[in-house]
Structure 1
């Protein structure tokens, strides 16, 4: 009898197996939606903000639909996320290109490589809060950048941990390319748990 109850609970809609399958499905589908939304390259920021829009609702335990909410977040945040995301993408791409180019020029340019790495780290650090803020609050671009910078350094442990997680997942994806099917959305989900703990200190009304 006990064994039957355990098996029934395991496979029920409230059971851990069902919840795990739903999590895997949502992570895969949101990763796919993010990839499709990012195809023009300059819209990577828009897709990322839409991803945080969905996961923000999930973490706050609000009702959500991965498809309709992703599209809603994509449309509503387009004007703000597009320019910021495009600039971030260009800066990161240019810095990474410079690192590889400088690496071929010898040890005399190690300090320039270090400077490029510093720029990349700063951009990633601030970006931890940029897109969740876009997904959560309607603010001017300058205010988004200013508040993201303040939050990134005021909560440096969380922002640095999020950057470290991103780097670790990138390295893991290089080792296991199949994880690329889940990579972006998995990172967004985990980082949202950290970020929401910070944002709820400053946002009174949970939406």
Structure 2
């Protein structure tokens, strides 16, 4: 009977994780409201989902705000750059759709659609990369797009996950209150396997002991 109500019970552990996901999803949504803070908010959400929810390290709010503050400037700038690029592509696509010549319309739509797809592929890597690696803003963008090509199956899988959650949230906006955390949790399953290939493990006995939770 004691085991039934133990906090180590699988059911209670699952419910606890779902509650944590709900809390940080709402927090992410609130911090995204200024729009320009979408970048650091998404970076913090991914970092917290992987470290606290998956690896059970640290505390929910402490880890979230630690990542949010540490990556605030870079995340905000990267978010603005991506939004500007998407806006340009949106204008280009509308321009292509308005073309009277059918052949030219088809060519330009194909070209701009291809650029949009490439943008989406790189975007799903940008903020997770920022949460884990120390790089300049341009290097983050370059690495994101290179990774998206090199690990294309993982990229396609993450795009499908994000697309499904975006569609459900569009159909049922209330889903936004907890979908973001679950979405990034699912994306982290294949993405963390990719990241491990680029993170050297420290040699035993050399330097201070580090909790390499990201290598588990």
Specify if TM > 0.5: yes
Say whether 1:74 aligns with 2:68. yes
> Which stretches of structure 1, 4 residues or more, deviate above 6 A after TM superposition?
104-107
Aligned residues: 201
Residue 132 (structure 1) aligned with residue 128 (structure 2): yes
- Alignment correspondent of 2:163: 167
For 2:92 and 2:149, the matched residues in 1 are separated by: 26
Which residue of 2 is the match for residue 83 of structure 1? 77
Shift of 1:48: 0.7
Name the structure 2 match of 1:156. 152
Residue 141 of structure 1 corresponds to: 137
Unaligned runs of 5+ in 2: 202-211
**Are 1:183 and 2:179 matched, yes or no?**
yes
**One of 27, 30, 34 as aligned partner of 2:24:** 30
| Secondary structure in structure 2 of the residue aligned to 1:196 | helix
Partner of 1:46: 40
Deviations 1:2-37 (A, max 9, x none): xx68xx44x431223212221221121111111122
The residue aligned with 1:63 is 57
Query: As a proportion of its length, which structure holds more helix?
Result: 1
In structure 2, the CA distance between the partners of 1:60 and 1:27, relative to structure 1 (3 Å rule), is closer
* Structure 1 vs Structure 2 CA RMSD: 2.5
Secondary structure of the corresponding residue to residue 182 of structure 1: helix
**Gap runs ≥5 in structure 1:** none
TM-score by length of 2: 0.81
Correspondent of 1:92 among 86, 93, 96: 86
Check 1:18–1:119 CA distance in 2 against 1; reply closer, same or farther (3 A cut).
Answer: same
